[in-house]
Amino acid sequence: LQSKFPDLGLTIFSRMSALAQETGAINLSQGFPDFAVDADLQAGVTQAMAAGHNQYAPMPGLPALRAAIAAKFASAYGLAVDANSEITVTAGATQALYTAIAAVLRAGDEALILEPAYDSYAPAIVAQGALPVRVALAPPSFAVDWDAVAAAITPRTRLIIVNNPNNPATSVFSRADLDALAAIAERHDLLVLSDEVYEHLVFDGRQHASVLSHAGLRARSFAVYSFGKTFHATGWKIGYCVATPELTAEFRKLHQYLVFSVSTPMQAALAQHLAEPTHWQGLAGFYQAKRDRLAPGLEAAGFRLLPSAGTYFQLADYRAIRPDLGELAFAEWLTREYGVASIPVSAFYADGRDHGLVRFCFAKREDTLDAAIAKLGRLA
Ligand code: PMP
Ligand code: GLN
């Protein structure tokens, strides 16, 4: 077989998680919580199964879940989202991202992505015969240079993909970023795909600036979310896409043939759980405390930390510890020699550029974070 994707290998998340497992290291690489999913939410799944909710859900998602999602947008952001025509429940954010990309890109189109970029965007673009055009953001702030974005636009540009809060940069958009994005999208008649899976994980009193809250962007954006992040259940693989009725209709044309619908009992349980705002309102504080528990331990070990404004990741500059190693080599060395796994940030740049940075995930129990700090303490 002549591979259609000769350049695609195993993702960095699979690779570093496998190394952590093989070496018995504490896994702060791939982003997933190591603590339990809420017991009531779990019980909701078995209750739904016992009550007979075991057959196909309606293609766009269970009405009760879509209603709860719409209520969340109203209560969290004061936003009106129509449950019937604007929300589609998907197999994680990953399927929502893929579906939106496949629904709008034609062969030969260009799609702008901002690097460091989450790893699923470019392959989804390439699979459509379209071309990812990359604009690089730089540490420490990873602020978007919107003039550079505008300069990367050509007559073939159709879509711009943004990720806010940003994995792995941990930066968040301001209202001014939304205005700048909207001005560019309107001027060039572009669609926007906004990956907002970390919407509730914004720290130090910041407010999440969703594309859905900006009138200009609301009309031309797909916004993507994940219950994996919000309810600590990455293995459930349930997310959703919000877009205007017109964009949603195009999205659903493909969604119905990619998966048709996703797990009925889990949707039923999520609908109940989401309906109680306290189940997601405290998330920022919950994760901010974990960020602030890990940070001093990393600093004491000799890392220089970049500010983490959102997501459940912390970027750390290791060059005071091992200036001689590139990011991947450092991450592997730290895993093998000190028993803590991380992710090299170079994995999020197509050219593999190296800033001397690794990403630690702090979505972990306190004892896990403390054990990692103790292991890294041997570096000091
Ligand atoms: N986008 C970003 C930025 C992510 O970090 C992740 C997963 N961690 C996803 C999308 C995928 O989400 P899901 O697991 O719901 O498919
Ligand atoms: N999004 C997770 C991370 O950034 C990983 C998801 C995956 O393994 N594909 O670590």
252 and 315 in a single domain? The answer is no
Assign 13 to helix, strand or coil. Answer: helix
- What is the residue whose two structure tokens read 């970049």? 306
Cα gap 291→198, rounded to integer Å: 14
51 and 171 in a single domain? The answer is yes
Ligand 1 nearest atom to the CA of residue 234, by list position = 14
- Give me the helices (H) in 282-365, please: 283-300, 327-338
87 and 48 in a single domain? The answer is yes
With a Cβ cut-off of 6 Å, ligand 1 is lined by 31, 92-94, 118, 163, 167, 195, 197, 226, 228, 234, 237, 239
The pLDDT value given to residue 47: 98
Residue 5 resides in a domain: no
Residue 364 resides in a domain: yes
Cα gap 316→344, rounded to integer Å: 10
User: What ipTM does this complex have?
Assistant: 0.98
Residue 7 resides in a domain: no
270 and 307 in a single domain? The answer is no
Q: What's the domain range around 294? A: 12-30+282-377
**Nearest CA-CA partner of 160 in 173, 168, 239:** 173
**Ligand 1 centroid distance, CA of 13 (Å):** 11
325 and 176 in a single domain? The answer is no
| Number of domains making up the chain | 2
Residue nearest to atom 7 of ligand 1 (CA): 31
Residue 173 resides in a domain: yes
346 and 327 in a single domain? The answer is yes
Domain boundary among 233, 259, 279: 279
**Nearest CA-CA partner of 85 in 70, 101, 98:** 70
**Ligand 2 centroid distance, CA of 67 (Å):** 28
List average pLDDT for each run of 10 residues in the chain, which is 380 residues long: 94 97 98 97 98 98 98 97 98 98 98 98 98 97 98 98 98 98 98 98 97 98 97 98 98 98 98 95 96 98 98 98 98 98 98 97 98 96
Burial 350-359 (b: 16+ CB within 10 A, else e): eeeebbbbbb
The pLDDT value given to residue 380: 87
Q: Nearest bound ligand to CA 224?
A: 1
**Ligand 2 centroid distance, CA of 30 (Å):** 5
Q: Nearest bound ligand to CA 163?
A: 1
Domain boundary among 253, 279, 305: 279
CB atoms within 10 A of CB 339: 18
Cα gap 198→348, rounded to integer Å: 17
- In degrees rounded to 5, what are phi and psi of residue 187? -60, -35
Residue 1 resides in a domain: no
222 and 371 in a single domain? The answer is no
119 lines ligand 2 (CB under 6 A): no
**Ligand 2 centroid distance, CA of 32 (Å):** 7
Q: ∠ at Cα 348 (22, 16), nearest 5°?
A: 5
Q: Nearest bound ligand to CA 360?
A: 2
349 and 203 in a single domain? The answer is no
Can you give the pTM of this predicted structure? 0.98
